Copies of this chain bind each other. A is one copy, B any other.
Amino acid sequence: MIPRYSRPEMVAIWSPETKFRIWFEIEAHACDAQAALGVIPKANAEAVWRAKDVEFDVARIDEIEAVTKHDVIAFLTHLAEHVGADEARFVHQGMTSSDVLDTTLNIQLVRASDILLAGMDRVLAALKARALEHKDTVRIGRSHGIHAEPTTMGLTFARFYAEMARGRKRLEAAREEIRTGAISGAVGTFANIDPQVEAYVCDKLGLEPETISTQVIPRDRHAMFFATLGVIASSIENIAIEIRHMQRTEVLEAEEYFSPGQKGSSAMPHKRNPVLTENLTGLARLVRMSVIPALENVALWHERDISHSSVERAIGPDTTITLDFALNRLAGVVEKLVIYPETMLKNMNKFKGLVMSQRVLLALTQAGVSREDSYRLVQRNAMKVWETGADFKTELLADPEVTAALSPAEIEEKFDLGYHTKHVDTIFARVFGS
């Protein structure tokens, strides 16, 4: 976790305080369930809740762990200091450390998902607003980095919206994947604890009981979770790269917002760097790098080995914190992106009218000119534009062979931008609903 790339809300999910709070809730609810089953006395179950509002003392628990060499035991010992040693003696009965640890991890991932979903909503809202704002802002569409045909800035935002909306749906599914808990004992047989305890605790904590666990919750769930975050990160990169391209000096169709106070901005007005989107490009790599280890974590030996644990200690917090930060940074960038419609038009006309050459070619053919001749006519006028900076339409209108086939009005029509934008509404309706 890198402080400068983290937001407090997400960091808090991974704090020791949060972890111990969740441990407490699992243990306390389990006691209730055990009491209801008659396994432990009701009074003892009730006593545990005395610690309900306690802020557990992390330093104290660490101190105990230094002796016991076992984190869950250290916590239970500390819990007993609040609840009373005698009252606390049934806490954790029949349970295995993994019951607590794995259920806790999933709760943390569910909560992390909720924050990420909120982050995606912020990105979606920004993209939608900017899409509507620039629905009709014409700019050149590019394939291979080369001018192709006109499109609109709104369509660019709209497609990022659609992509993020897919990402959101994927994240919801990933959240469901890890929304399970397990209290099933050392090898998952419920030998020492009734399945009803698991059911009760999961219900209280908003989880589903894991269909079948071993000592641990199966790691294909987590693999799917991190793989999904990796896909979302790639979509962030996709948007970031677009903005970086738009801001490069020769293109300059947009700029990341640069606050008036930011030094150097006006003495070197050309030197406003898209550092936020460059940063997002790097953060995307960081999020993605968790995918492979998460996949490697799936194949554990028999009922569990603990190789996955160190991996998750790292990628659990790091990946969710980084993605959360990235989503919110992205939202900010999109919200405030400064867009230059005039430059867009200027860029589109860099080779005056040449992007329309294909329409003209088609029109000539449809007007009965042979393919070869059509090509020759377009070519000779196009080359003038290319070589001398002439205007394509002007040249066409001045070419008698062209005007023999197409009327001036017909030629004019080929340069009508409306031809390219006529289905924008249809597409917007698909993306945002009508």
Q: Is A206 an interface residue (CB 8 A)?
A: no
**Measured CA separation A142–B292 after assembly (Å):** 26
**Measured CA separation A123–B304 after assembly (Å):** 22
**A146-B426 contact in complex given A286-B293, A295-B231, A382-B268, C-beta closer than 8 Å:** no
Question: In angstroms, how far is the closest chain B Cβ from the Cβ of A76?
Answer: 14
Assess the A234–B158 pair: CB atoms within 8 A.
no
In the complex, the chain B residue whose C-beta lies closest to that of A239 is: B299
In the complex, the chain B residue whose C-beta lies closest to that of A177 is: B166
Assess the A427–B212 pair: CB atoms within 8 A.
yes
Assess the A270–B147 pair: CB atoms within 8 A.
yes
Assess the A290–B289 pair: CB atoms within 8 A.
yes
Assess the A314–B288 pair: CB atoms within 8 A.
no
Question: In angstroms, how far is the closest chain B Cβ from the Cβ of A161?
Answer: 8
Residues of B within 8 A of A190 (CB): 422-423, 426-427
Chain A window 264-304, contacts with chain B (Cβ cutoff 8 Å), 1 for yes, 0 for no: 00111111111100110111111011111101111111111
**Measured CA separation A159–B182 after assembly (Å):** 14
**Measured CA separation A255–B279 after assembly (Å):** 29
Which A residues are closer than 8 A to B by beta carbons? Answer: 2, 4-5, 68-69, 140-151, 155, 158-159, 162-163, 166-167, 170, 173, 177, 185-192, 195, 209, 211-215, 218, 220-221, 223-224, 227-228, 230-231, 233-235, 237-238, 240-242, 244-245, 247-251, 262-263, 266-275, 278-279, 281-286, 288-293, 295-311, 313-315, 318, 322, 347, 350-351, 354-355, 357-358, 361-362, 375, 378-379, 382-383, 385-386, 419-424, 426-427, 430-431
